[in-house]
Structure 1
Amino acid sequence: MPTSPGSSRASGGKRVSEALAGIAPSATLAVDAKAKALRAAGQNVIGFGAGEPDFATPEHIVDAAVAACRDSANHRYSSAGGQPALKSALAAKTKRDSGLDWDASQFLVTNGGKQAVYNTMAALVDPGDEVLLPAPYWTTYPEAIRVFGGAPVEVFAGIESCFRVSVDQLEAARTDRTKALLFVSPSNPTGAVYPRDEIVAIGEWAIEHGLWVITDEIYEHLTYGDAEHHSLPVLVPDVADRCVVLNGVAKTYAMTGWRVGWMAGPPDVIAAATNLQSHSTSNVCNVAQAAALAAVSGDLEAVAMMRDAFDVRRQRITEMLNAIEGVECPEPEGAFYAFPNMEGLLGRRYGGTEATTTVDLAAAILEHAKVAFVPGEAFGAPGYARFSFALGLDDLAEGISRIADLVA
């Protein structure tokens, strides 16, 4: 008898591969989608979920995209690894902004930062390899490691250590199967920024043990106060041959929807990742590449304006969260997230809903206060929560006030 469509006889009853069946949905996108759905249904929901600037993409970038739409050359396929002009501009921008002087051939333009993460894991991770993952972490990292058969090894650092892992912690987690360290500063979700000396110590430790370092620098321009971004392969040049740098235009230039990111690294890794991309997505949208070229080639005036606005919001949300009894929120030094410890609010009922975990708490606050945030479980940090402050001051203040009123 012929096998009917959808039959799973050959796979022993499994309809979806183990690799994909094990991937959890993006918690941050799920919270944002739920908040938008409630708004669409007429409810006044304030969302702290998405890591997305509320500013419009700067006008000169949009103008470059409009012009690119009218150029018929952009209506055709282009190089899978990125247009040469953009790759050269990325090399120049990287040298200007972080001091990392790598050739344009060492860059691969990707469909957003997430594809850069997946390409990197595909190029480096074999089944059984372990990747050290400082926690709290961005929700995508462990899924990208697992899908290629790797094992994320969480190394947790909480408020007491300013959300920064130490070399001693990393060494305690290292085994003979450790392949790489995933290093992020400034951090999503915590806003932590590593100082120069700690970065140097981590880089030298990685060299000592022959580890790869994957460093995500997408929030490089969003630091506040005395905090400064330092690129690990600049501070520790000897790590360069075993280092991949991830970045993108999304956060710096308010271009989340344009989907342009990149990875930079040793030529053999970039060649392998480019080969993969040639079979998976081919080139990034040419119009989006033209917009990215205008972004990274221009000045940072618009970036400075956005950072100043985020700085005001950062201070306001920290003050308001800390004013809620049972909440402890360190002042973030980078990115646009506050990451408070909310354990003091657990074990209570809110509007008839019992909150024993921060997942419960987030559900109760969304239901009864119409405020959305991402519970810490999504970042490997139960008891904590992530609040994006990439929203207007009035909405920010209203949202935190609603939480304060509910839990009072």
Structure 2
Amino acid sequence: MPLVLYDFAVWCFGVILRLVSPFQQKAKKMLQGRSHWQSKLKGDFQGLESPVVWFHCASLGEFEQGRPLLESFCRVFPHYKVLLTFFSPSGYDVQKSYPHAHAVHYLPWDTASNAREFYNIVKPKVSFIIKYEFWYHLITEGKDRNVPVMVCSSIFNGSQIFFKPYGGLFRKILLNLEHIFVQDCKSLELLKKIGIDSVTVAGDTRMDRVAAITENTTDNELVKQFVNGHETFIIGSSWPQDISVIAPLVNSETHMKFIIAPHEINHNQLVQLDSVIERSSIRYSELPGPSEVDVLIIDTIGILSHMYQYGKYAYIGGAFGKGLHNILEAATFGLPLFFGDHNYQKFREAVSLAELKGAFPINDAKELYQAYKYLDQNENLYQQTSTICRNFVKENTGATKIIMDHVLTALIP
């Protein structure tokens, strides 16, 4: 019965997408990207003699998290061809031409027949799923065909369905994985309690990724020209709830320039920004512009991680809604961090940096202003906070090596 309900839920999700796709661009892209997926895959993999490794990421954030592992695998096993799949358009649209992949596709809907066809066409020798994507049929089919499927950089908590009395189907998914690499000991202990023994605490591959960004960063001449030597406050992955909190700071701190990167770049969010920002602003797509402009609004996907090199402070969005976005890209450049205090507790790095006083959860515009001023008026404290953030990333790298050591010793002769 649980599997029938699971299959029904997957079917319902497809129906809902079809109903909303005429009005919702993301839904439309998800459907169009999966149309004729079999023929698209056959065009890339039919007759291919090289072994295939399959990497799957839900969206762009998970791709960036798994990128160090993917590129390390390519260096060690250059004869393998990489299939990179995404669930969401946010990953596919940005990385569809990713140079290390033989092919980039949308993940087929998780049905038993789709899973069989997928493995028949691609014939992967090994598979990696980044963080969270526990699809029953695709993982079970891999187990049945003796294809090792691993999940990397996961975090588990007791509220998840795996640990509930009614979560038997999802516990079976975990049992069908060859190995799970988790970020912390708490996740390891939870999995052990439900009989999942193939688990290793490896840490977070995002640490390796963001550390690599600082080592390989390049100047963005357009942004550099906008900053023009001014102190700059970066606002990353903002949502409408965040804008109401940060707008007073943007409008009052006239000595500082601001770069604002909405999480979703759409007409409504850009209009909202225009309506609440009282200082002169320009969109990234309009650069180069006048040197006296105060606020740069990023209306291009995929460049935020390299914006933080120009910042002195960073506010990261999402915590007033479904969940905090990536704070590590800013932390690795030593930017003191601010974010909402509603929904950050499930993110280990956010909790740790808040405890270390490298990050400051805030409740409203007043708290943001007070926390910012507290640092901005005390240079020694600012430098201490900056060092805490930078060192936190440096001290937590190494997850990629742990995972690759397992691959080398246990999976591939």
TM-score normalised by the chain length of structure 2: 0.32
Greater relative contact order: 1 or 2 (C-alpha under 8 angstroms, separation 6 or more)?
A: 1
TM-score by length of 1: 0.32
